[in-house]
Amino acid sequence: MLSSLLLSILRERFPSRGLVESTPPNPCAFFPGTHPSIRGVSIYDDGYELTVCVDDLTHGHFAEYDDALPDPERSRRIVDNVVEFLDALFADRVAVWGQGDAGGGWYRIDLGAWVASRVSRSSCGRGRGHKASRSALMVNRLVKYEHPDMT
Residue 150 maps to a domain:
no
Q: Do 90 and 17 touch, CB atoms closer than 8 A?
A: yes
Please give the tally of structural domains in the chain: 1
Domain-located, residue 134:
yes
Q: Is residue 48 part of a domain?
A: yes
**What residues make up the domain containing 27?**
2-145
**DSSP letters of 8-33?**
HHHHHH-TTS--EE--TTS-SEEEEE
Q: d(Cα 67, Cα 75) in Å, to the nearest integer?
A: 12
> Model-level pTM?
0.75
Identify the residue with better confidence: 65 or 111: 65
Please report the pLDDT score of residue 39 as a whole number: 84
Dihedral sign (CA 42, 56, 144, 107): positive
pLDDT, mean over the chain: 77
Q: Nearest to residue 106, comparing CAs of 143, 81, 136?
A: 136
For the stretch 23-74, pLDDT in tens is 989 999 999 987 667 789 999 999 999 999 998 888 999 999 998 999 999 9
pLDDT value, residue 30 = 98
pLDDT of residue 97: 84
Instruction: State pLDDT tens for residues 119-135.
Output: 333 345 433 333 333 33
pLDDT band at 92 (very low <50, low <70, confident <90, very high): confident
- Of the candidates 144, 135, 4, 9, the one whose C-alpha atom is nearest the C-alpha of residue 82 is 9
Residue 36 lies in a domain: yes
Beta pairing partners, 50 = 45, 62
DSSP state of 93: -
Contact predicate 108/34, CB 8 Å: no
pLDDT at residue number 124: 55
